[in-house]
Amino acid sequence: MPIRQRFVREQSLGPRSAGQRSLSRRPVGTPGAAAVVPTARGPARWLGTLLPGDPTPGRLLRFAVVNLCTVSVLLLGAYAILLASSGELRWAAACLLGCFCLDGLDGALARRFGVDSPFGAQMDSLADLCGFGVATPLLAYHWLHGTASAYAIGLACAMLAACAMVRLARFNVVPKQVRHFSGLPAAMPPVILAGAILLDVEPAGGHIGLISGLAVLMITTVPYTKFAPLLTLPRWVWPATGAALVVRPTATLGTMIAGYLVSGPVLSIVRRFARSVPAAAGPQPARSASATVAARDPVRSHVRIAIVGAGFAGLGMAIRLKQSGIDDFVVLERAGEVGGTWRDSVYPGAASDVPSNLYSYSFAPDPNWTRTFPTQPEIQSYLNRCAVQFGLDRHLRAGQEMLTSEWVDDAAHWRVDTPAGSLTADVLVVATGPLSKPALPYLPGLERFTGAAFHSATWDPSYDLRGKRVAVIGTGASAVQFIPEIQPEAAELFVFQRTPPWVIPRWDRHKTDLEQGIYRRLPIVQRLARTLVYLWRETLLLSLTSGQSMLKPAEWLARRHLHRQVEDPSLREALTPDYRLGCKRVVLSNTYYPAVSQPNTRLVRSEIREVRPDSIVCADGSEHLVDAIIFSTGFESANMPIAARLRGRDGRLLADDWRDGAQAYLGTAVSGYPNLFMLLGPNSVSGQNSSLLTMEAQVEYIVEAVHLMQRTGVVAVEVSREAQASFVSDVHRRSIGTVWVSGCRNWYLDARGRNTTLWPGLTRSFRQRTRRFDVENYVVHAGVRKPPPAASAGGGVRTPVND
C-alpha cells in the first residue's frame, strides 16, 4: 500500500489503542464536581488503584457490593457446569439464570453507584464461557446420549436463551445504538438445540460438534462491537439462519464462518469509503442543505449544542455547560475514547512541555501528578477521570466523526452528518483544535518505499524498531522526545534536520508523596504553585512579543546546554540555530543532544532528493539505507482541516473563505457562520504559555453567549464582518516585531507568512477581551425557530435530552 494511502488510513481509523476501554462503557461518576478527587494513602492507596476517587466507607461498601455480584457470577457459572455434568439440569438452569441476572445487576449497580469492578470485563468473559460456551455443549451431550429427558433439556435451553437476553440490562457492554441486539449471539446456540429437539431431529455426533463450535464462536471469538452491524439486518434473517443450521448444519456453518471472516475487512472498507467521500469531493457548489441530508437520512435528532471533538477543549466546553445548568448537548468524537491529541500521541517519551500544575483545568486541579511535566499516559488518564467525574459519558458519541456540517438558515440550526446518521443543533462548537491533522511532506518516490513509514502522531506500537535502520524526518518537539527513546534500540538512526531547534534544559523531577499530600489537604497551595508557573510563563511570553533583547539570557542558557552535552565541534555547529530563540517552538530536553551524539546516530543536513524502495537519497548524492521512516513534521495548524467540512450561510464553504488565511473574531466566531463557535481557533493559541488558559476564556465566552440567547429568545448570533476585520487587522499589526515573524519558517504562519495561529500578546489580555460576550459586535437574529423534524423508528441518530 502506498505510504500516502497508509497515512490516510491511519487517520481515518483513529487511534491504534483499540484495547483501551471506551468512555461510553464507564460508569457515571458524580456530575458537576469541582475537582478530581484524590486517593488516600496507606492501605486505601492500594484500593485507590481499583477504586478511583475518595475511598470513603460508603464508597468502599458500594465497591464491595459490586465486586460481590461480579464474583458471584463466576461462582454460579462454575457451579452450573458441575450440576449439568451430573445430570441436574433444572438446578443448572436455575444457577445460570441467577448467574446472568447478577451479571446485569452488576452493571446496573456500577452505573448507579459510580464505581466499577476492576474484574468486570474478565468476569463477563468467564461467565459467558462457563454459561454458554460450556453449558450448551453439555446439554447437547445429554441430548445425544439420552441421559436426560427432551423436556428437561428443552427447558434448560429456554432458560439459557432467557439468560442471554437478561444481559440487555447491562447497557454499558455495547454501544447504545445496538444494545437491544446484544443478547442475540449468545442466545443462538441454545435456541438451535431446542429447535432440533422440537423438530425431532435424530441426534448425531456432528450436531454436538456444530453446537459446541457455534457456542464457543459466539462467546469467545465474535466481538460484539464487530458483530453488531450484522445485527441490524432484518429480524427474519435470524430464525431463517437457525432453521438452516438444523436442516443443513455443515453448509450453513461454513457460510457463517466465511461471512464472519470477511465481515471485518468489508466493514472496514465501507467505513473508510464513507469517511473519504467528503474529503475526496472537495469544495462543492452551494446547494440546499435539506436536499443534501435528506438523501442520506430523512430522520434526525435535535440537540441544543453539538460539540465536535473530545480533547481538552471539547471536554472543557462540555463540563462548563453542565456546571452552568445546560444539559442538552452532545460531544461528537471520531475515535472510541476521549483525549484528542493526547489519546493519539502514543510515541515513546510523549509528554507536555507545560508544567502539570498549569496543564490542567483551573476548575479540576489534580494533586496526584507524579512529575513536573506530565507524560502522555498521565494526561490521558486525567482526561478520562474528568470525563467520568463530571458525568459526560451519556453525552459522548464515540466513533461519530463530523463528516460535514451545514447551516440551515430558515430553520436557524446546524445540520451535522456523521457515519451513524445526522443530527441538528442550534449551536455548533468546533473543538478539534489546531493539532488534529498531521502534516506529511511531499517526498518524490515515497510511495515506492517498502519499509514502514508513519507519522509520530500515528505511531505504530506494533512495529519493532530493534535492530532496524531508522530515518527520522524533522527535529520538532515530538522528535526531540522520541529520538532518545528509540536511539538505543535502533541499529542505525538517521536524523534528517532542516533547521536545528533551540533546546533548553528540562527541569523535570518526580513529585514526592509529601508534595502530593500537601496539595490534597491544602488545595490553595497548589493554586499558588499554578499562579507562580503562570507568571513565569507570562514573563517568557513578554520577551517573545516585545523586548527581544530579553531573550539573550535564554539563548545563552541554550548554548551552554549545547556545549555541555555535545563535545564534537562539527556536530555542535550543525546543532546551533541561526535564528532568534522563540521563532520556532522552544523545546525542553536533557536527553536529545546525548542521543544524537551516539555512534549509531547520524545527523543529516542535506535536503532529501528522493525516496527509493529501501533508501533515502539526499541532494548531495549520499544514499542512506533505511528500514523505517518516521515523520516528525508537525501538524497542519495554519490551515485547519475542519474548514473543508463547514458550510455557512448561502452554502459558503469555510475553506474557501479561508483560502487567503484563516480569520476569526477572537479566534472564536466567524462572520457568515451563525451560531458557530471555535475553541483554539485562529490567533487564539498562546505562544509559550498554556493554551488551556485562552481555551477556558473562550469557553466562558461561549457559555455566556448561549445563556444570553436563552434569556432573550434570540435564535442566532453572528459576528459582524466589520468586527472580525478589525480584530484580524489588530492581530497582524501586533504581530509585527514579534519573534514569530522574525524570518524563520514555523507552523504558526500560513503560506503567505502571516501569523494565523498565535495570539500576539499576554494570555491576560486575551482573557480581558473575552471576559464578557460583547453582543454589540454581533448581528442578532430574532424570530421563531422552526421545530426540528421528529424522529421515528426509521433510523437516524436519536439524542434525547434525558437519555
- Each residue of 573-586: b (16+ CB within 10 Å) or e? eebebebbbbbbbb
Q: Give 751-758 contacts, CB < 8 A, sequence gap 24+.
A: 751/638, 752/660, 752/661, 754/661, 755/683, 755/731, 756/638, 756/661, 756/662, 756/663, 756/682, 756/683, 757/434, 757/637, 757/638, 757/682, 757/683, 757/685, 758/683, 758/685, 758/686, 758/687
- Please answer whether residues 452 and 10 qualify as being in contact, where contact means their C-beta atoms are separated by less than 8 angstroms: no
φ/ψ (deg, to 5) at 220: -100, -20
616's CB contacts (< 8 A; 6+ apart) are 471, 494, 496, 608, 610, 623, 624, 626, 629
Residue 552 sits in the same domain as residue 686: no
Count of other CB atoms within 10 angstroms of residue 381: 17
Residue 609 forms part of a structural domain = yes
Beta-bridge partner residues of 422: 417
Q: What is the mean pLDDT of the chain?
A: 74
Domain count, the chain: 3
Dist CA 73 CA 50 (whole Å): 19
Question: In a 10 Å sphere around its CB, with 0-12 CB exposed, 13-18 middle and 19+ buried, how is residue 425 labelled?
Answer: buried
Residue where the block lists cell 506529511: 440
Range of 57-61, 162-166, 486-490 with top mean pLDDT: 486-490
CATH number of the structural domain spanning residue 642: 3.50.50.60
Using alpha carbons, select from 20, 112, 106, 21 the residue that is nearest to residue 68.
106
Q: Which three cell numbers stand for residue 661?
A: 488565511
- Please answer whether residues 649 and 492 qualify as being in contact, where contact means their C-beta atoms are separated by less than 8 angstroms: no
* Mean local confidence (pLDDT), 146-163: 71
Q: Which of 153-167, 523-537, 586-600, 747-761 has the lowest mean pLDDT?
A: 153-167
Residue 419 sits in the same domain as residue 500: no
Dist CA 777 CA 407 (whole Å): 21
DSSP 574-594: HTS-SS-TTSS--EE-SSHHH
Dist CA 290 CA 635 (whole Å): 34
Indicate whether 139 pLDDT > 90.
no
CA distances from 689 to 280, 364, 365 (A): 37, 18, 17
Q: Which three cell numbers stand for residue 732?
A: 497582524
Residue 72 forms part of a structural domain = yes
Residue 176 sits in the same domain as residue 121: yes
Chain center to CA of 97: 37
* Mean local confidence (pLDDT), 85-100: 68
Residue where the block lists cell 451535522: 416
* Mean local confidence (pLDDT), 549-577: 87
Rg (CA), the chain: 29
Residue pLDDT, tens place only, 710-769: 888 899 999 999 999 999 888 888 887 777 776 667 666 766 777 878 888 788 888 888
- Please answer whether residues 119 and 73 qualify as being in contact, where contact means their C-beta atoms are separated by less than 8 angstroms: no
- pLDDT for the residue 66: 73
Residue pLDDT, tens place only, 617-647: 999 989 999 999 999 887 766 567 788 899 9
Residue where the block lists cell 459582524: 720
Indicate whether 700 pLDDT > 90.
yes
- Please answer whether residues 672 and 718 qualify as being in contact, where contact means their C-beta atoms are separated by less than 8 angstroms: yes
Residue 161 sits in the same domain as residue 79: yes
Residue pLDDT, tens place only, 256-290: 655 654 554 455 455 445 544 443 333 333 333 33
Residue pLDDT, tens place only, 348-377: 999 998 898 898 898 888 999 999 999 999
- Please answer whether residues 100 and 127 qualify as being in contact, where contact means their C-beta atoms are separated by less than 8 angstroms: yes
SS3 percent helix, strand, coil of the chain, rounded to 5, is 50, 15, 40
Residue 107 sits in the same domain as residue 246: yes
Indicate whether 291 pLDDT > 80.
no
601's CB contacts (< 8 A; 6+ apart) are 487, 492, 493, 494, 495, 595
Residue 13 forms part of a structural domain = no
- pLDDT for the residue 801: 33
- pLDDT for the residue 612: 92
Residue 164 forms part of a structural domain = yes
Residue 661 sits in the same domain as residue 716: yes
506's CB contacts (< 8 A; 6+ apart) are 373, 588, 589, 590
**694/126: higher pLDDT:** 694
- pLDDT for the residue 573: 92
Residue 328 sits in the same domain as residue 351: yes
- Torsion angle, CA of 679/681/687/691, rounded to 10 degrees? 10
CA distances from 185 to 19, 166, 373 (A): 22, 13, 47
Residue where the block lists cell 436426560: 148
- pLDDT for the residue 144: 73
Residue 524 forms part of a structural domain = no
Dist CA 628 CA 748 (whole Å): 29
**785/514: higher pLDDT:** 514
Residue 357 forms part of a structural domain = yes
pTM reported for the whole predicted model = 0.61
Residue 93 sits in the same domain as residue 214: yes
Name the residue range of residue 480's domain. Answer: 446-515+546-562+586-631
* Mean local confidence (pLDDT), 206-213: 66
Dist CA 106 CA 292 (whole Å): 44
Range of 25-39, 742-756, 772-786 with top mean pLDDT: 772-786
Counting every residue, how long is the chain? Answer: 803
Residue 63 sits in the same domain as residue 177: yes
- Please answer whether residues 465 and 488 qualify as being in contact, where contact means their C-beta atoms are separated by less than 8 angstroms: no
Using alpha carbons, select from 582, 584, 589 the residue that is nearest to residue 562.
589
- Please answer whether residues 664 and 513 qualify as being in contact, where contact means their C-beta atoms are separated by less than 8 angstroms: no
Q: Which of 127-131, 448-452, 740-744 has the lowest mean pLDDT?
A: 127-131
Residue 671 sits in the same domain as residue 621: no
Residue 283 forms part of a structural domain = no
Confidence band of 492 (pLDDT split at 50, 70, 90):
very high
- pLDDT for the residue 47: 42
- pLDDT for the residue 795: 37
- Please answer whether residues 392 and 315 qualify as being in contact, where contact means their C-beta atoms are separated by less than 8 angstroms: yes
- Please answer whether residues 96 and 160 qualify as being in contact, where contact means their C-beta atoms are separated by less than 8 angstroms: yes
* Mean local confidence (pLDDT), 608-615: 92
Residue 663 forms part of a structural domain = yes
Question: In a 10 Å sphere around its CB, with 0-12 CB exposed, 13-18 middle and 19+ buried, how is residue 235 labelled?
Answer: exposed
- Please answer whether residues 405 and 282 qualify as being in contact, where contact means their C-beta atoms are separated by less than 8 angstroms: no
Q: Which of 25-39, 50-64, 298-312, 714-728 has the lowest mean pLDDT?
A: 25-39
Dist CA 43 CA 751 (whole Å): 58
| 3 state SS of 630 | strand
Residue 95 sits in the same domain as residue 170: yes
**Angle 484-486-487 (CA atoms, 0-180°, nearest 5)?**
65
Confidence band of 21 (pLDDT split at 50, 70, 90):
very low
Domain's final residue, options 578, 600, 631 = 631
Q: Which of 107-111, 497-501, 612-616, 791-795 has the lowest mean pLDDT?
A: 791-795
Give me the amino acid identity at 543: S
Count of other CB atoms within 10 angstroms of residue 121: 14
Residue 469 sits in the same domain as residue 431: no
Give me the amino acid identity at 211: I
